[in-house]
C-alpha cells in the first residue's frame, strides 16, 4: 500500500559513474517532485513535473535529468557523479499545487 516509493533505498557508487533513481506514486497525483537533502539536513527542490511536463528546474547541474514516462513515475538520472552529489534524494507527489506533498522514503546516495 506504499503511496510514494523509491528505489533503491541506498546507492553507493564511484565518482564518474551514471546512476538512476526511480520513483512511483499510486495516489493518482498530478504533480511530482525531486528534492535533495544535504548532510546538514537542508532540503531543496530540484525538479517538479505536472502531468508529465517539467514545471520547475532549479539551478541544478545538467548532469541531473528527470524523466517522467507517465503521471505515476518520475525518475532521476545522474551522469558523471561527483562527490558533492552525495545526499538523500526524496521524491514527492501532490494532487494539486495547493496541497501538501507526500514524500517517498528517500534514497541515500553515496559517491566514493
Partner 1 sequence: AQKITQTQPGMFVQEKEAVTLDCTYDTSDPSYGLFWYKQPSSGEMIFLIYQGSYDQQNATEGRYSLNFQKARKSANLVISASQLGDSAMYFCAMRIGAGSYQLTFGKGTKLSVIP
Minimum distance, C-beta of residue 64 to partner 1, in the bound complex (Å): 17
Task: Return the DSSP state at 101.
Answer: P
Q: Assess contact for 21 and 27: CB atoms under 8 A.
A: no
Q: Count other Cβ atoms within 10 Å, centred on residue 34.
A: 25
CB of 16 to partner 1, least distance (A): 27
* Measured distance CA(70)–CA(37) in Å, rounded: 25
Among 19, 21, 31, 64, binds partner 1 (CB under 8 A): 31
Binding to partner 1 (CB under 8 A) within 69-108 occurs at 88, 90, 92, 94, 97-106, 108
- Minimum Å gap between C-beta 19 and partner 1 is 19
Q: How far apart are CA 69 and CA 36, in angstroms?
A: 21
Which residues contact partner 1 (rule: CB under 8 A)? 31, 33, 40-45, 48, 50, 55-56, 88, 90, 92, 94, 97-106, 108
Amino acid at each position: 500500500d506504499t503511496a510514494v516509493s523509491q528505489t533503491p533505498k541506498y546507492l553507493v557508487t564511484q565518482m564518474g559513474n551514471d546512476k538512476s533513481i526511480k520513483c512511483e506514486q499510486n495516489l493518482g497525483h498530478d504533480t511530482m517532485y525531486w528534492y535533495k537533502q544535504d548532510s546538514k539536513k537542508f532540503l531543496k527542490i530540484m525538479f517538479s513535473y505536472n502531468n508529465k511536463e517539467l514545471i520547475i528546474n532549479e539551478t541544478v547541474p545538467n548532469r541531473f535529468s528527470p524523466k517522467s514516462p507517465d503521471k505515476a513515475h518520475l525518475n532521476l538520472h545522474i551522469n558523471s557523479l561527483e562527490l558533492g552529489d552525495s545526499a538523500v534524494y526524496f521524491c514527492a507527489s501532490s494532487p494539486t499545487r495547493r496541497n501538501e506533498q507526500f514524500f517517498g522514503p528517500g534514497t541515500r546516495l553515496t559517491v566514493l
